[in-house]
Amino acid sequence: MNEKWMEEIVTYAPQDLLAMREYLQQVTGMRATELGIVGDAAHAASGGYHMGINDLARVYGSDFRKSDGRREYSVRQQRDYAGRSNAASALDVGYWSGLRSFSVALVDACRRGDPSTRAVREVIYSPDGSAVRHYDAIGEQTGTSDTSHRYHTHISFWRDTEGTTDRLDFLSLMSELIEGRETSPATSTMLGEHMALMRTEGDPNVFLTNGIIAVAVSEADFADLQYLGNEGTLSLAAGGLRVIGDSRRALIGRIVGPVPTGWESQAYMPPMPTATTVNVELTAEVISAISAAAAAAVGTTFSDLTEKVDEIDAAISDITTALKNSAAAAYDAF
């Protein structure tokens, strides 16, 4: 395993694991180098989920067989073999003050069958900084459990979950375990950075995340959500409606009134027709983001607009014109 071999590694970090790393950097202050995804030559030599298929094949051959005749463990199970690609499928979480409590809570969620852990194959961790424990979703426990795991936690994901909502659910679970809330701060940050006022067919809207959802502002705590593109999906579940897209997940708010026909039976929908709407009671976080966007565009806050009804009635023409102009500019710039 020489330097030239390292230069030829083709394993890459998939977008969903990069989103997890970005989130952990934001909430823990760790550097990217403390949150490992793609393995090095040593990882390839020992096998495992940090390596993609081509790099494993260079060590074990095209059938991934070890000297004992068994497949290398990260492609041994059907879910991993069927989902094989050159993507890494593991995340090492380095040490920070909350590592122990996070790791224990994560394993507890796995053991009790929390649906947000469906993507998890194994967790190697230390509950106390001394003993090293190995949780395996199938009880096999064939990964490497050396003492380095006293200071970092290794999480392997089933290879067939790359790019699926199962990993987005896991990102939401991470946020809940670390911060006690479902909505990922990484998502909120991205919404704030990319939010712009725009105008779609007739009503001023707030544009959220890369062409996926438009929120038509109506009353103080309500909004209509319109599906605009095919890059994301909508999710109906206990707790409300979520936006999923660009490896991110955000809780928008509680659904108010009837659910549109065809939405009731599916937890995760395929792309909905343009202008499909549902009334939603917004979270405080989303209202705050809308307020900031409105203030930047028309010089007033969302709450001011909703509280000063008489002034709004008197100035509606000017506000609409301002929204149109700023929306056109924001849309062109986006």
How much of the chain, in percent, has pLDDT values that exceed 70?
Answer: 49
- Looking at per-residue pLDDT, the higher value among 139 and 211 belongs to 139
Residue 217's SS3 state is strand
Residue 146 has a pLDDT of 74
- The residue out of 155, 182, 209 marking a domain boundary is 182
Residue 121 has a pLDDT of 96
SS3 per residue for 155-193: EEECHHHCCCHHHHHHHHHHHHHHHCCCCCHHHHHHHHH
- The residue out of 152, 182, 212 marking a domain boundary is 182
Residue 185 has a pLDDT of 31
- The residue out of 182, 208, 223 marking a domain boundary is 182
Distance CA 120, CA 72 (A): 18
Mean pLDDT of 45-73: 84
When computed from its CA atoms, the radius of gyration of the chain, rounded to whole angstroms, is: 23
Do 51 and 149 sit in the same domain of this protein? yes
Query: Distances in Å between the alpha carbon of 135 and those of 41, 81, 138, 287?
Result: 25, 21, 9, 40
Residue 179 has a pLDDT of 80
Residue 27 has a pLDDT of 86
Do 55 and 174 sit in the same domain of this protein? yes
pLDDT tens readout for residues 9-30:
889 998 889 888 988 988 888 9
Residue 285 has a pLDDT of 61
The mean pLDDT of the chain is 67
Residue 180 has a pLDDT of 74
Do 205 and 244 sit in the same domain of this protein? yes
Residue 50 has a pLDDT of 94
Check whether 41 has a pLDDT greater than 90.
no
pLDDT band at 184 (very low <50, low <70, confident <90, very high): very low
Mean pLDDT of 201-215: 33
Residue 148 has a pLDDT of 84
CA nearest to 125, candidates 159, 74, 91: 91
Distance CA 6, CA 4 (A): 5
Number of domains forming the structure of the chain: 2
| Residues of the domain holding 127 | 3-182
Residue 16 has a pLDDT of 86
pLDDT band at 290 (very low <50, low <70, confident <90, very high): low
Do 177 and 305 sit in the same domain of this protein? no
Do 214 and 254 sit in the same domain of this protein? yes
Mean pLDDT of 233-250: 41
